[in-house]
């Protein structure tokens, strides 16, 4: 794998920053993209000092669809790897009662990420190389009462990544779908997560690097999630409707 720049979209999240560290450790220049990117100055300096790599900051709003192409054009260099770590969990109970809030959750988890990766896919295809990484969720594998708004958007994103991977299969561009399961981050700090099913952000970053280096297609950060979701997918619907998981 060449030591080209890595673009991290949604760079403020714990998973995004952990992924940046994993790539920077290998010598990759890092492009950190997020809203109010100037607030990532400390993270930029830490990466530069720790790994002696170039790090640049870029303003990026995933829902500003009209300016996504301009955002890519303004990058100092087209990245070799782009990681979309954008995501908003939302609040299922309140979002059920506020359809506009629900729409924002769906747009932030599907529409915006799919749009920016579609644009990057076209640029990568023209060049004939590159890797696109989309961080989706096991929540998208079956709609559940406790998180179906977030889960439905992630289901769409997972399907998008699958189709994009199929389309680009013979172009030199690879697409990786990442299904982290529970991760111990600021976004989940108010949730009671089971230890055996919960990954640390550093584990996610390391898993993403391995997946891009080994040309993996779909990865579960903790392999046990493959079994868990297989069981959940095959619960008969009459029984499933009586459950709240």
Catalytic residue among 51, 110, 150, 220: 150
164: its two tokens: 């994009």
Q: How many residues does the chain have?
A: 245
**φ, ψ of residue 170 in degrees (nearest 5):** -115, 25
Contact 63, 10 (CB under 8 A): no
Known active-site residue 110? no
Q: What is the DSSP letter of 64?
A: -
| Cross-strand pairs, 177 | 134, 218
Q: How far is CA 117 from CA 49, 65, 110, 235, in A?
A: 30, 11, 11, 33
Secondary-structure percent of the chain, ordered helix, strand, coil, rounded to 5: 55, 15, 30
Q: State the alpha helices, DSSP H only, in 98-144.
A: 99-106, 112-127
- Contact between 212 and 81 (Cβ < 8 Å): yes
Active-site residue set? 150
């Amino acid at each position: 794998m060449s030591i080209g720049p890595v673009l991290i979209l949604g760079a403020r999240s714990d998973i995004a920053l952990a992924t940046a560290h994993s790539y920077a450790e290998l010598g990759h220049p890092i492009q950190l993209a997020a809203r109010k990117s100037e607030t990532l100055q400390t993270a930029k300096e830490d990466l530069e000092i720790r790994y002696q790599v170039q790090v640049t900051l870029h303003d990026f709003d995933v829902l500003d669809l009209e300016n996504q192409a301009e955002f890519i054009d303004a990058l100092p260099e087209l990245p070799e790897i782009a990681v979309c770590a954008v995501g908003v969990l939302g609040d299922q109970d309140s979002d059920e009662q506020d359809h506009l809030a629900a729409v924002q959750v769906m747009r932030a988890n599907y529409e915006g990420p799919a749009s920016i990766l579609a644009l990057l896919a076209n640029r990568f295809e023209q060049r004939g190389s590159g890797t696109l990484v989309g961080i989706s969720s096991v929540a998208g594998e079956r709609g559940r009462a406790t998180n179906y708004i977030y889960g439905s958007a992630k289901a769409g994103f997972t399907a998008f990544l699958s189709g994009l991977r199929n389309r680009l299969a013979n172009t030199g561009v690879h697409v990786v779908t990442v299904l982290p399961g529970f991760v111990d981050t600021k976004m989940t700090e108010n949730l009671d997560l089971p230890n055996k099913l919960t990954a640390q952000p550093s584990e996610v970053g390391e898993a993403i690097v391995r997946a891009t280096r080994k040309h993996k297609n779909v990865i579960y950060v903790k392999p046990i999630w493959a079994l868990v979701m297989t069981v959940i997918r095959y619960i008969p619907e009459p029984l499933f409707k009586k459950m709240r998981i």
